[in-house]
Structure 1
Amino acid sequence: MALSLQSYVRLSSGYPMPLLGLGVYRNGDCFPACLAALKHGYRHIDSARMYRNEAEVGRAVKESGVPRSEVFVTSKVYNAEHGYESTLSAVDSSLERFGFDYLDLFLIHDPLSGKQKRLDTWRALLEAKKVGKLRTVGVSNFGVKHLEEIREAGLETPSVNQIELHPFCQQKEIVEYCNKHGIFVQAYCPLVRGRFDDPVLQDIASKYKKDVAQVLVRWSLQRGFSPLPKSSQPARVVSNANLYDFEISLEDIAKIDALDQGKKGAISWNPVDAD
């Protein structure tokens, strides 16, 4: 599979998104990691209002020397801010924190606010997109039920669903639904938070002379996802992108696929079954 650090997918919104992104979850001092990422070819950074580091991301983009138009930046509105007016205010607040006049992608961070607020929040994001503040809108941690609510309400389908996704928690039902309805899947926790002791992963990493982290991200890319590996260490940020000089064989992909434990394999909050 011919992939490079500059490989993109065109989302249903019409905008291109770099497949590999840098996650900055709970990294309050993410400026060094973001700067290293942009210096070494990343063009996609995934933040959120709940992470409290939008300003650091914006500063890194400005100081990197990379044109703003070349960097794909995401943020998210979490359940405490859900609702129509509060979401519109959250979008404006995020733009101010980043120092940007638009965001490339804005997501509903989780489905924990209940059906009515989920739909009100989605309507607000569509409005913010309509007036040009957001280029693409989507959701995160949404199960099939939550995605169906949007469809049944006659509203525009999300372009993206960002979910916990790695070999031990493959969320197959959600992925199948998203693929069927043109919703691109982003994978958070692709590095299983450093749990690299699985013998199958270790054997495959040894075979390709790579580390387990690189195998995990490469697997995610070859499965057609957009992985968002997180690291606060600049050297590790660079290492995590050193994965375009090898391709995992179909046989080895199948071995990794077989590690799936369903929802038991989740290592994060994974609220895809919320009411």
Structure 2
Amino acid sequence: MVERIKLNDGNEIPAIGFGVFLIPADGSTYKAVMNALKVGYRHIDTAVAYFNEAEVGRAIKDSGIPRDEIFVTSKLWLQDYGYEPAKKGIATSLKKLGLDYIDLYLIHQPYGDVPGAWKAMEEAQKAGQLKSIGISNATPKIWNQFEDSFNVIPAVNQVEYNPYSQQKELRKILDPLDVKLEAWGPLGQGNADLFAEPIIKQLSEKYHKDAGQIILRFENQEGVIVLPKSTHESRMISNKDIFDFELTEDEMEQMRSLDKGHGSHNPDDPGVEQMLLSAFDVHAND
């Protein structure tokens, strides 16, 4: 049974989810989501910019699992920031997913007219179209820039998080507001150095778990929602099998000591907004 974490708006989110980033919309996403649901995942994370919302929605519908048992996250892309564009963007996501509501909707990249987009998201939440709303890739600097424009405090900030990048400065800001961190790349995007860390190997032997399970359990015990991604069924199952053991406080401290204080992506770097905006057109096929 997957644990659930209570958000600051009273809603509950499964502590582990299945992410579909970079899974193509050629039937692969449909198959992956069907498999994830079959092995027990109840939290699916997609985005407008993943171009696979429609396959996610079709898999949810075809799974036969009641809608209220599945937690769905999607994310608004930069092109749709601003009040009116965001309203259209939310409606498009709902249509592509084939859903009456989305459980969690995020500002995907926090640049440009975030306040306008956030206002539209707050209204959609009041209307019941979005159950929870949040942000993604917000550093302390970005958070401080936009915080005053939030009438509703974000429930989640989805950021790069793994034992090498533990977001300690960000947590000092978000923890008092009960904003939950959600980890993209929770396994360090397969970083071989991370998997070879002596403490992780040692804990793996002690608990008879693989390195990935040790990492995900550490993150879970830190209160972080994790989104590991794999299209291999055996890996989907093992990534979810992290709730039958517990690291001691001493072991947690050893894992915390792995923090390098930065990740592979720095949203504060100059030029990131322009690079992302020109990366692709989410409306090319509209």
Would you say same fold, with TM above 0.5?
Answer: yes
Note closer, same or farther for the CA distance 1:272–1:103 as it changes in structure 2 (3 Å cut): farther
SS in structure 1 of the partner of residue 132 of structure 2? strand
User: Which residue pairs with 1:247 in the alignment?
Assistant: 246
The answer for the alignment partner of 1:159 in structure 2 is 155
Letter in 2 for 1:176: K
Hey, what does 2:136 align to over in structure 1? 140
Tell me the equivalent position of 1:12.
8
Offset of residue 208 of structure 1:
1.4
**Normalized against structure 1, the TM-score is what?**
0.91
Distance 1:141 1:94, change over 3 A: same
Structure 1 segments of 4+ aligned residues over 6 angstroms from their partners:
none
Gaps of 5+ in 2: 274-286
Q: CA deviation at 1:273?
A: 6.1
Q: 1:176 aligns with which of 167, 172, 175?
A: 172
Q: CA RMSD in A?
A: 1.7
Partner of 1:31: 30
Residue 46 (structure 1) aligned with residue 42 (structure 2): no
Q: Deviations over 1:18-73 (max 9, x none)?
A: 11111111112222222222122211111111111111111121122210111000
| CA distance in structure 2 between the aligned counterparts of 1:219 and 1:227, rounded to whole angstroms | 10
Alignment of 1:1-275 (within 5 A): 4-5=1-2, 7-28=3-24, 29-113=28-112, 117-153=113-149, 155-195=151-191, 196-263=195-262, 266-267=263-264, 269-271=265-267
Percent same amino acid among aligned pairs?
A: 38
Report the 3-state secondary structure (helix = DSSP H, G, I; strand = E; otherwise coil) of the residue aligned with 2:182.
strand
Task: State the SS of the aligned residue for 2:162.
Answer: coil
Instruction: Give, in whole Å, the separation in 1 of the partners of 2:174 and 2:150.
Output: 17
Residue 153 of structure 1 and its aligned partner are, at CA, apart by 3.3
Instruction: Give 3-state SS (helix, strand or coil) of 1:262's partner.
Output: coil
- Say whether the 8 Å CA contact 1:163–1:270 is kept in structure 2: no
Q: TM-score, normalised by structure 2?
A: 0.87
SS at match of 1:255: helix
| Aligned-partner Cα distance in 1 for 2:149–2:36 | 39
Q: 1:118, CA displacement in angstroms?
A: 1.2
Q: CA deviation at 1:270?
A: 4.0
Total equivalences in the alignment: 265
Change (3 A) 1:235 1:178: same
Distance 1:232 1:210 in 2: 20
Structure 1 unaligned residues grouped into runs of 5+: none
The aligned amino acid for 2:188 is V
